[in-house]
Amino acid sequence: MKKFLIAFVMAVLPLAANAAGGAGVHLDHMEVDLENKASLQRGMKTFVNNCMGCHSAKYQRYERAAQDLGMPNELVEQYLILGDQKIGEQMTIAMSAKDASGWFGAPPPDLTLEARLRGPDWLYTYLRSFYQDESRPWGVNNAVFKDVGMPNVLEYLQGTQLNHCSPEQMRAEAAIDPLTGKEMGKCLTVVEGSGELSEEEFDKVVYDLVNFLAYIGEPSKLDSHRIGTYVLIFLVLFFFVAFALKKEYWKDVH
């Protein structure tokens, strides 16, 4: 019963997060593609280079990711393991919880199950919704997670983003004008030339990163789907065998 309740909560939480949005802000949709190995490889590179300074993925191993994503162990060891860890170890970080609490107020969460907890749409929108706010300790805020205690680590790629709206206007940002059929307005804009990537290129980087986070949240998902298909085919075929056997057993009863 306890295992059932845990599984139920894990299944419902992403739905609740998507339904609630972030502070009432519209969540942009992204379609997770676990069969796109190139996207997952790029996402792992972005995760290691930008996220693992603070966030671990301690329920995932480098070697498992290398095998699933079609990368030779040697390349992963050379380019994606930045410390003295071994290929078979978990994706942990050197930062201690005590130091993290002093710097950020609380230890940054482990991200292995974050995509299952928040949902891919939440993460995809959140990572693209940081904006400049000098009143905050890190100089940034977030439209999805108000008063976030995290710096915008991808700012060098995206650029400096400015917010032109009040909280009420931000919640209505994605509303559609009934007369024109167009969005009512755009609250967040990037200062031209302040980032290394264009808006489309940055969105692709974030997509790949969230795609990778969705993968580590459930590495066996594709295998589960494949095995589930075989099980259903077996059950369909077994139904006819069982039905014929039942008729044979019961033909003389009446």
Q: Tell me the mean pLDDT in the region 177-188.
A: 60
Q: 75: which 2 tokens?
A: 């390349």
**Distance, CA of 3 to CA of 22 (rounded, Å):** 29
What is the pTM (predicted TM-score) of this model?
0.79
The pLDDT value recorded for residue 3 is 45
Write the pLDDT tens digit of every residue in 189-226: 999 999 999 999 999 999 999 999 999 999 988 788 78
The pLDDT value recorded for residue 2 is 47
Write the pLDDT tens digit of every residue in 100-135: 888 777 889 999 999 999 999 999 999 999 999 999
**Distance, CA of 124 to CA of 33 (rounded, Å):** 14
Place of tokens 């603070």: 54
pLDDT: which is higher, 230 or 177: 230
The pLDDT value recorded for residue 10 is 47
DSSP secondary structure string, 36-98?
-HHHHHHHHHHIIIIITTT--EEEEEHHHHHHHTT--HHHHHHHT--SS--TTSEE--S--HH
